[in-house]
Amino acid sequence: MPERYRPIVDVHVILEHGSEILLLERQGTGYCDGQLHLPSGHLEAGETLIEGAVRELGEEVGVRAAAVDLRLAAVVHHRQNSDLARIGFFFATSRWEGEPFNAEPHKCGKLLWCDPRVLPTNTIAYPAAGITAYLEGEPLVTHGW
């Protein structure tokens, strides 16, 4: 019997500050180093999507968002390669406590506030697809299939 399909579940957070969103430059991870991504990560066993999103914000940019302030902005079913798929839940918020800072300098080079309508060319395609879906009001998109 074939093994059951098991995509990785990711949570991404779009921090909205006026007309800009926060992106992080990856470094030292071996995955897309030098490219830009949202605060994000894998959902951990036993946590809800919202709990994972709140945790990732704290771990990566040192801010705390209330669960009620995170709204689901888009879902992206992403095919990373022929053997690996991910389902990314993109949340957005303009409310949080604290000032974002690089809380993981061993994984992040810098933080950048960017216009989501004109993403830098070194933005990773997967989160860019989620950001585009968020801007266009598309609740579900596929990427890489």
Q: What is the CATH number of the domain that holds 97?
A: 3.90.79.10
Q: Where are the beta strands (DSSP E) in 68-126?
A: 71-81, 84-93, 108-114
Q: Kindly state the helix (H) or strand (E) to which residue 23 belongs, with its residue range.
A: strand 20-26
Q: Which two tokens stand for residue 126?
A: 């997967």
On whether residue 2 sits in a domain, the answer given is no
Backbone angles phi, psi at 64, to 5 degrees: -120, 130
Which residue range forms the structural domain that includes residue 44?
Answer: 8-143
Residue 4: pLDDT band by 50, 70, 90 thresholds? Answer: confident
The answer to whether residue 45 sits within a structural domain is yes
Burial class (CB in 10 A: 0-12, 13-18, 19+), 131: buried
Counting the structural domains of the chain, the total is 1
Phi, psi values for residue 57, rounded to 5°: -60, -45
Place of tokens 């030292």: 28
- Percent of the chain topping pLDDT 70: 100
CA-based end-to-end distance of the chain: 25
In a domain, 136, yes or no: yes
Q: Which of 3-7, 10-14, 96-100, 134-138 has the lowest mean pLDDT?
A: 3-7
Give residue 99's identity as a one-letter amino acid code: E
In this prediction, residue 5 carries a pLDDT of 85
- Note whether residue 3 is domain-resident: no
Task: Flag whether pLDDT at 36 surpasses 90.
Answer: yes
pLDDT tens by residue, 98-119: 999 999 999 999 999 999 999 9
97 close to 136: Cβ distance less than 8 angstroms: no
The DSSP secondary-structure symbol of 95 reads: -
